[in-house]
Structure 1
Amino acid sequence: MIDALAFLPLEDVDEGMKYLKTVTPQDPPEAEELLRYFDRTYVSGSFQQPVAMPSDALMPLRMRHTSPMFAPHLWNVHDATMNNNARTNNICEGWNNKFFNLVGHYHPSI
């Protein structure tokens, strides 16, 4: 069901992720682990400690939110689907393949 997030409106992706967390089975544990990874990398980002503190320090815990590596606006295809636009870059791949077949190797010199 993770792939369905790509088709939700951009503003609903967070809510969709929350829903997936409620319906994901805890067994096998890898399913929950995959969902956490996807959330960190593609949806919500994560919280990290900005600087290393000594273990005996009595300072308040400070965390910094980091953005996801691939934010939803990069991979969401809702608008492209609704507007009947291409959702992939297959047209570019096709052009590169045709050019390779014409030239005969990947990095031709000029």
Structure 2
Amino acid sequence: MSKKTYYVNLNPTSMEDISTTKIDDHELIEYEIEATPEEVQHLQQLMMDVQKHDMELADLFTFRHFNEEFTTADSDRFQHGMNDVYRKIYELGTNDTRTKMDSMHPSPLTNDE
């Protein structure tokens, strides 16, 4: 299947934004990728998993956020998910995207944790 150009927006309020249209906003960090529909679906699922984890309502009604061990583990899981998203964007990214990501996130993108 042939690849198309997509634009990925990692806005925290709408983490699942992957579009075929570039948004002309200098304040927005948008990543250009070349992907098949299956690759886009996989990336979107990774992004939705991170967003879902970040917004788990059950955590709002407990006192777990006072437990330092829980918050550290929760933060680690969130960061691991974000690293997976960034790695996938890097893998599918255009040369410009990879250059941009190399300058913003130096080594962790290509290494496993």
**TM-score past 0.5 threshold:** no
Structure showing greater radius of gyration is 1
Structure 1 or 2: more helix by fraction: 2
Structure 1 or 2: more strand by fraction: 2
